[in-house]
């Protein structure tokens, strides 16, 4: 007799898989950067590794989005996780047989990032398929909870990675990720979806060249003013969050005059703020639709002052306090934007839209990161933080003041098709 799997059970497996994979991914990231710098003593080599981790998701996002829209999402996620498992295992194997080189590590990192870059948007587009009630309130809570598990992994992973590096060679530490990815495969395998929840394993329609380029997702975004607004907010989020984290080492060294311990404390404060806010969001912090509409712009607005103060911090305690609030405020944006996108996008195009959303984030993050050397060279570290604070302030004011006239005068009031969610975005939050 077949046992019917509950929605809670499915979500539990999904959250556990996300948690263990995030822990492993962050253990491997710490070990990777340590290994690259130790072997080359070159900041440029470390920067190249960062480029290799961001470029594939940006370039391949339309293709991966189309694949998720035309295939069973769970099956694609399983394949990606299996590839990540094998690729992560390759590094310690090559090391043990004395074949590991910097070039081979960079190639493996590139291939792994292709899988991880596709896995993230695909995982979020898979969430509505396993929710018992695909209403916006449940989607928001699910997004917030999965962000909470991800943030917990981001906090725990570097701590474990640093501890392991004291006794174990870096390539062997990188291999720990293969074990966690394997656990993620097991948890995904345990999730059972029905025909009504997912499409066939095989494509319903042939994949056209236009769909592979993300045309379908772009059409959905530009058709809806609210989707355009969400896309723009998430891109600004990328422009802020990635450059901010890249500036932290220089802030610690030049402004605070501290060392690695202070840098670790600053990152931890930032991460704890993210984790605390995502927990509150998963507990139903927002109850009304009006709160959700204003929450992302208000987060940009409030974080602008904290970014300004962080750049002018005079001691470690002050910097830790401000980093905590910046992490918490900016982490509001991710679940709010994702929940709104889920509610406004037909399921048939959700993978493409999510991948383009991720591409917009990465594109603006790359632009912001590329501007940092010029900004810090010309203005100094404190003024650069002030520039980012000004961007956050102006963006928050713009999105707060123009909720209707700029973006939503488009076709944002259209009813969703039968293949989309049963309720409109006006019902995102329940009284």
Q: From CA 65, how far away is CA 356, in angstroms rounded?
A: 8
CA distances from 139 to 147, 180, 236, 257, 281 (A): 12, 26, 23, 44, 11
Under 8 Å between Cβ of 396 and 304:
yes
Under 8 Å between Cβ of 173 and 27:
yes
pTM over 0.95: no
Q: Which two tokens stand for residue 274?
A: 């993210």
CA-based nearest residue to 300, from 423, 394, 222, 200: 394
Task: Evaluate if residue 206 carries a pLDDT over 70.
Answer: no
Task: Evaluate if residue 77 carries a pLDDT over 70.
Answer: yes
pLDDT at 89: 93
| In the block, residue with structure tokens 């993300």 | 214
Complete DSSP assignment for 97-111: TT---HHHHHHHHHH
Q: Is the dihedral of CA 277, 56, 120, 226 positive or negative?
A: positive
**Per-residue confidence at 431, pLDDT binned at 50, 70, 90?**
very low
**Per-residue confidence at 186, pLDDT binned at 50, 70, 90?**
very high
Task: Evaluate if residue 92 carries a pLDDT over 90.
Answer: yes
Task: Evaluate if residue 418 carries a pLDDT over 90.
Answer: no
> What fold does the segment set 214-431 form as a domain?
Growth Hormone; Chain: A; (1.20.1250)
Angle at 58 between CA 193 and CA 244, to 5 degrees: 105
pLDDT tens digit sequence for 216-265: 667 777 777 788 888 889 999 989 988 887 777 778 777 777 665 666 67
**Per-residue confidence at 405, pLDDT binned at 50, 70, 90?**
very low
**Per-residue confidence at 284, pLDDT binned at 50, 70, 90?**
low
Task: Evaluate if residue 281 carries a pLDDT over 70.
Answer: yes
In the predicted model, what is the mean pLDDT of residues 146-160?
Answer: 75
Task: Evaluate if residue 9 carries a pLDDT over 70.
Answer: yes
> CA-based Rg of the chain, rounded to a whole angstrom?
21
Q: Which of these CATH numbers, 3.40.630.30, 3.30.420.40, 1.10.1530.10, 1.20.1250.20, describes 1-190? A: 1.20.1250.20
Show me where the domains of the chain are located: 1-190, 214-431
Under 8 Å between Cβ of 139 and 339:
yes
In the predicted model, what is the mean pLDDT of residues 32-37?
Answer: 78
CA distances from 236 to 214, 360, 368 (A): 21, 9, 10
Q: Which two tokens stand for residue 326?
A: 């910046």
Tell me if domain 1-190 and domain 214-431 are identical in fold. yes
pLDDT at 3: 53
CA-based nearest residue to 299, from 225, 393, 364, 228: 393
Residue 315 gets which letter from DSSP? S
- Neighbouring C-beta atoms of residue 376, cutoff 10 Å: 17
Q: Is 53 exposed, middle or buried (0-12, 13-18, 19+ CB in 10 A)?
A: middle
More confident residue, 210 or 258: 258
pLDDT at 183: 92
């Amino acid at each position: 007799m077949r046992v019917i799997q509950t929605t809670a059970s499915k979500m539990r497996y999904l959250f556990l898989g996300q948690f263990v994979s995030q822990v492993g991914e962050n253990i491997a990231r710490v070990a990777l950067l340590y290994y690259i710098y130790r072997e080359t003593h070159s900041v440029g080599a470390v920067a190249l590794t960062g480029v290799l981790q961001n470029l594939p998701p940006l370039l391949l996002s339309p293709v991966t989005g189309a694949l998720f829209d035309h295939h069973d999402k769970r099956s694609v996620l399983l394949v990606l996780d299996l590839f990540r498992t094998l690729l992560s295992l390759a590094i310690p194997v090559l090391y043990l047989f004395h074949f590991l080189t910097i070039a081979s590590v960079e190639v493996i990192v590139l291939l792994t990032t292709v899988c991880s870059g596709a896995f993230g948007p695909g995982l979020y587009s898979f969430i509505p398929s396993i929710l018992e009630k695909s209403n916006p309130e449940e989607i928001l809570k699910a997004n917030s909870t999965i962000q909470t598990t991800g943030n917990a992994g981001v906090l725990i992973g570097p701590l474990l990675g640093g501890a392991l590096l004291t006794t174990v060679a870096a390539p062997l530490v990188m291999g720990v990720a293969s074990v966690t990815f394997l656990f993620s495969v097991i948890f995904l395998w345990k999730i059972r979806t029905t025909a009504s929840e997912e499409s066939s394993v095989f494509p319903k329609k042939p994949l056209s060249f236009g769909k592979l380029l993300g045309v379908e997702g772009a059409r959905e975004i530009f058709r809806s003013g609210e989707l355009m607004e969400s896309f723009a907010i998430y891109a600004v989020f990328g422009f802020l969050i990635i450059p901010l984290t890249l500036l932290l080492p220089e802030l610690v060294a030049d402004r605070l005059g501290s060392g690695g311990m202070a840098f670790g404390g600053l990152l931890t404060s930032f991460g704890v703020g993210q984790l605390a806010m995502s927990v509150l969001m998963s507990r139903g912090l927002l109850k009304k639709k009006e709160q959700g509409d204003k929450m992302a712009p208000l987060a940009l607005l409030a974080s602008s002052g904290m970014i300004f103060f962080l750049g002018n911090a005079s001691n470690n305690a002050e910097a830790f306090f401000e980093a905590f609030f910046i992490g918490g405020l900016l982490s509001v944006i991710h679940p709010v934007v994702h929940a709104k996108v889920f509610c406004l996008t037909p399921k048939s195009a959700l993978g493409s839209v999510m991948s383009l959303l991720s591409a917009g984030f990465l594109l603006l993050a790359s632009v912001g990161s590329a501007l940092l050397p010029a900004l810090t060279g010309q203005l100094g570290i404190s003024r650069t933080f002030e520039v980012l604070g000004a961007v956050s302030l102006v963006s928050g004011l713009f999105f707060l003041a123009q909720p209707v006239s700029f973006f939503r005068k488009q076709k944002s009031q259209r009813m969703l098709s039968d293949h989309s969610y049963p309720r409109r975005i006006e019902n995102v939050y329940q009284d």
